[in-house]
Chains A and B, each alone.
Chain A
Amino acid sequence: RENEQRARKRKMRLLTHNMLSSNIKGVANGFPLRIEVEKVVEKQVDFNADFLKNMFAKIEWKALVDASRSMGYSELPGDANPAMLDSDDFLQKFHHALLELHLEEGALVCPETGRKFPVNKGIPNMLLHEDEV
């Protein structure tokens, strides 16, 4: 597994995906958004164990697992619990999935309506049309 070294530009990370939900009027549960990948980039990001341990409680684990698989990374365990944070191997995988898989081009899809929120140059556009507000 190789990290592509490019210009410093970074794109949408899975931590952000884990915090996004469909904001369309009438949608009961818009989380998680399904990822349609056109371009994934892997970027090296500094490792901080405290940050990961801090974030762990806030992450929806299954959404992260599914999202990372759609980005081509299958190393995350299907289930996770806080005890695993003592394992460096687990932390490295968590770090990689959460922060180093970047979606550059693609879309985030509302799980209820199928509406696509485009991601261009790593920026998701969540602006709604008038009839969706």
Chain B
Amino acid sequence: MPSRTAQIRFVSSHPEVYEPCDDSFALVDALLADRTNLLEHRPTLCMEIGCGSGYIITSLALILGQEANGAYYMATDINPHAVKVTRETLDAHGVDAELITTDIASGLARRLAGLVDVIVVNPPYVPTPEEEVGRGGIASAWAGGENGRSVIDKILPIADILLSDKGWLYMVTLTANSPSDICRQMRQKGYASRIVLQRSTEEESLHIVKFWRDFDTQGAASDIYSVKKTGHANLVESLLSQCSQLSFWRHNNGNSS
């Protein structure tokens, strides 16, 4: 009997690949909470950027169903180990997605422009020194540069190209990424947004944001949101001191599920 989401015991792993963690679970919980809307939406092409272990794309495929339901899944990762692990995770759950080893959507964006109905992203959002971004290997799973925004800011314009008129984007962010600033920038591209799920730990808060094209309100946003830089210095220090280990988020991860 198929499970509602991917199950940890069937998720494959590799030392160079990010294991599912609080942020992965939060994104999948957000998708589950939006399940009825997603099913009514009847997406055709669904895509994950940065599939890691495959936990999220597998869960999405379980939630929405496969070809019989008219959906086609694609997932990319810059880390070839992650792509291989994702294949194993998909197989273990009896679901399927097309996998491509590439940087974000390089090689795909030209043809997929305006065609993707659902994009899910759990990006490398951890604030790190810029040099750590794009180093490859497992660090590519979390290294986000200044304010953790380097890769997010690369992904967003590409997502804008890929998304269809009815396209939805779900993305994991930290408070440190200034989600309100992200939403403001996306508003200028014509997107409405909503934080669909929030989860806090002692150190930080995860915000799962959903974006969709909002054709009623176009044009530049007013300065409702101002980017505040107070208080982040201590936060970044605290995050950086914990960054060296994958266990950044795993303070209580017995990983039973």
Contact = CB atoms under 8 A, between A and B. Distances in A.
- Main secondary structure, interface of A, reads loop
Contacts, number: 87
B75 to A, nearest CB: 10
Contacts of A15: 72, 98
A10 B97 CA distance: 8
A58 B115 contact: yes
Given A20-B107, A20-B108, A125 B80 contact: yes
B67 interface: yes
Nearest to B71: A51
A30 B96 CA distance: 27
A12 interface: yes
A126 B84 contact: no
A10 B88 CA distance: 11
A128 B70 contact: no
Interface in A25-42: 30-31
Interface residues on A, range: 35 or more
Given A55-B44, A125-B80, A126-B107, A16 B100 contact: yes
Given A9-B87, A121-B87, A126-B106, A20 B100 contact: yes
Given A19-B108, A20-B111, A51 B84 contact: no
B114 to A, nearest CB: 9
A19 B105 CA distance: 11
Interface string B64-97: 0011111110100010100110010001001010
Contacts of A19: 74, 108, 111-112, 115
Contacts of B94: 8
A16 B96 contact: no
